[in-house]
Every structure is written in C-alpha cells, then in structure tokens.
Amino acid sequence: MPDLSFSLGNFTITPFLISLLIVGFCSSFFIWRTLKEDVREDEIFNLTILLFVSALVFSRLIFVLFNLPIFGFSLISWLVLDHGVNFSPGGAFIGVFASAFWRAQKLKLSNWEVLDSLMLPSLIAVFLGGLGYFLKTGLVWDLFYLGTGLLGLLSYQLIKNKYRSFVWYKSGKTGFLFSFYAVYLSFFFLILAFLKNHGLYSKCLFGLLGLFFLAILYHRSERKLKEDLGFIKLKRKI
C-alpha cells in the first residue's frame, strides 16, 4: 500500500492522525446534539475537551504500563512518542467513560443517559480510527477495527429503537446502549489481542472489561440470578 503520510516541517501527518481529527469533530457534534437540551453549551464544550484529554492520557498510560519493561520508570520515555501508534484502545475507552461518569454526577445528569450518548461517537471512533490505522499500516488485521465499527454503526439505530422490547432485557432502562456496546467492543478487542498475539496483560484487560460490562448489562436488565439459574435446581431434582 502506498504511503499516504506527508510532512509539514518536522511534523508528519498520517492517515491515522487525520482520522482522529475527524473523530474528534464528529464526536463533539453528536455529544452536543444529544445533551444540548439539558446542558449549557460551555459545559458541553468543557465535557468534550475533558473526554478528549482523558482518552489520550489513559490510552497512553495503559499502553506504557503494559510495556513497562521497555519504557522503564522514566517519565520522559513515557511522554516521548516514536513513529508507531503507541496507545491502547482499551485505555482510551476507560478514560472516556470514567470521566463521563464523574462529570455527569457533577452536572447532576443521569449517568446512564450520558454514557448512552457516547456510544455512537465511540463506534464512529472505532470505524474511522480503524480506517486511518489501516491506511497507515496496510495490515489486513487492522481492517477488523473498521469492520467492527461498521457493524456497530449499522446495528445502532435498530438496537436503540428496539432494546426496550427485548424479552431478556425486562427493565427497559437506559444504560443498555452503553453496556451492550461496551461488551461488544471489549470482546472484539480481546479476540483481536489473541489474533495479533498481544501480551497477556492486554488480553486480561479486555477480558475483565468484557465481564465487567456484561455484569452491568445484567444488572440493568433487573433480571434475578436465582430465577435464571432455577433450571439448575430443577435438573437436580429430576
């Protein structure tokens, strides 16, 4: 694949960087469109900046921690970027959702509605980021990001309109979009970590995140574990 990067002085512009800039713009628009009725525009702007910074900081921090033997304990080495894409997608999502949860409480908004509002921008980020990353690396495996984001986007509107009627999601509460797509993305990154032979820590992170969000999804459904596991007792009696 031809190199689509170009330089402006000492700064190199890559397709991945361009895709991140587009993601930032699109995410800001969708967050504003969702929250504009309940939140002042200056607060939405501050929230957007907070999420962007949190995504960068957490994604870099998680990547460094998982590669600590390479970086050591030198703060300078933690901050210096080489020519690779040295960020963790899982770390970015942790930073975004933790910051959004904290900020929603400060603004006295529904945590679940704010988290739900972030899922469409997150899927767009995976799709566009995956496209930019593939154009940068040319590796077939990196098309998985694009495909996962596309599948999520194609299903988003249908699931958003129908999830309250799902028999297994008996509560119909908000928080479904967040927890469902968080499970979807976590297990996708876990599968990709195995396919690309990433380190054990990376696999454990995505595996634990997937189980954590699955537990949130189950909790929001208001299903009862005793009822769902009742068939086990019935089988024993038989």
DSSP for 102-130? HHHHHTT--HHHHHHHTHHHHHHHHHHHH
Q: What is the pLDDT along the chain (238 residues), one digit of tens a residue?
A: 455 554 555 555 666 667 677 777 777 787 777 777 777 888 888 888 888 888 888 877 877 776 666 656 655 555 555 544 566 777 788 888 888 888 888 878 788 888 898 888 889 888 887 787 777 777 777 788 888 889 999 999 999 999 998 888 989 898 999 999 999 988 888 887 787 776 666 677 788 888 999 999 999 998 877 766 765 554 555 4
- Per the structure, the count of domains in the chain is 1
The 8-class DSSP code of residue 83 comes to S
Position 176 in a domain: yes
For residue 154, give the amino acid letter.
Answer: L
Predicted pLDDT at 81: 53
Predicted pLDDT at 83: 45
Quick one: which of 183, 185, 179 has its CA closest to 222?
Answer: 179
Position 228 in a domain: yes
Residues 47, 44: Cα–Cα separation, whole Å: 5
Helix, strand, coil shares of the chain as percentages rounded to 5?
75, 5, 20
Position 1 in a domain: no
Predicted pLDDT at 13: 61
Provide the residue range defining the domain that includes 225. 6-237
Is 148 strand, coil or helix?
A: helix
Position 202 in a domain: yes
Position 197 in a domain: yes
